[in-house]
Chains A and B, each alone.
Chain A
Amino acid sequence: AQSVTQLDSHVSVSEGTPVLLRCNYSSSYSPSLFWYVQHPNKGLQLLLKYTSAATLVKGINGFEAEFKKSETSFHLTKPSAHMSDAAEYFCVVSPWDNYGQNFVFGPGTRLSVLP
């Protein structure tokens, strides 16, 4: 069975400082992994995805994530936080053996950015 753990339910950073949102997964096969962002009362926007190509994935708005198979991690980073980054972030695993029929969502991490 696949599962996703987001170790921090809430992360608070100051504007201009680095962001680290942690995600660990368990999967029987080599999965595809995604990060989505959700602003209040909005749908989810795709930030980036890993699909067995380069392990360092660059996404939109300066975010990137590194797939580390040995650590079963896919942490999301950004060098410098902006106020507009304040939102809820979801790490998602898509099991290879099920061709994405069922996304498995992490519980989410709420990012606060302080001025």
Chain B
Amino acid sequence: GAVVSQHPSWVICKSGTSVKIECRSLDFQATTMFWYRQFPKQSLMLMATSNEGSKATYEQGVEKDKFLINHASLTLSTLTVTSAHPEDSSFYICSARDSFGGETQYFGPGTRLLVL
């Protein structure tokens, strides 16, 4: 149980285009999902907290107009990197917290983004 999927697993795009990443909780409902960014050989950096049916809460320094988050259902959150640039290239990981299961976050497999 408690499986989180991400799609796509990797994406290469041209500078200036937008990329959408999906995060799904497959066997549980997730009122809250989280989006992280991970640079090589570093720990995870929380970008934003996504709450179903409401606006996401962004961490300091994260541009909300750059990283659009939508959490329209209890099993799906999306992160859209708008007008991507090479510096946005990174590993993006989502996690989901079971609405009935306490504090544990279950992580997706990550999405590798490369912007050329």
Q: Quick check: is A49 within 8 A (CB to CB) of the other chain?
A: yes
Could you tell me the distance in whole angstroms from the C-beta of A44 to the nearest C-beta in chain B? 4
Taking a contact as CB atoms under 8 Å apart, the answer to whether A105 and B44 are in contact is yes
Q: B42 — which chain A residues lie within 8 A by C-beta?
A: 107-108
Residue-wise, chain A 33-64 has the 8 Å CB interface mask toward B (1 for contact) of 01010000111111001010000000000000
Which of B12-20, B65-73, B78-86, B106-114 binds A?
B106-114
Interface residues on B, range: 20 to 34
Chain A residues proximal to chain B, CB less than 8 Å: 32, 34, 36, 41-46, 49, 51, 90, 94, 99-103, 105-108
Chain B residues proximal to chain A, CB less than 8 Å: 4, 6, 32, 34, 42-44, 46, 49, 91, 93, 95, 97, 102-110, 112
Please name 26 pairs of A and B residues whose Cβ atoms are closer than 8 Å in the assembled complex, sorted by A. A32-B103, A34-B104, A36-B107, A41-B91, A42-B109, A43-B6, A43-B110, A44-B44, A44-B95, A44-B107, A46-B104, A46-B106, A46-B107, A90-B43, A94-B103, A99-B103, A100-B97, A100-B103, A100-B105, A101-B32, A103-B34, A103-B105, A105-B44, A107-B42, A107-B43, A108-B42
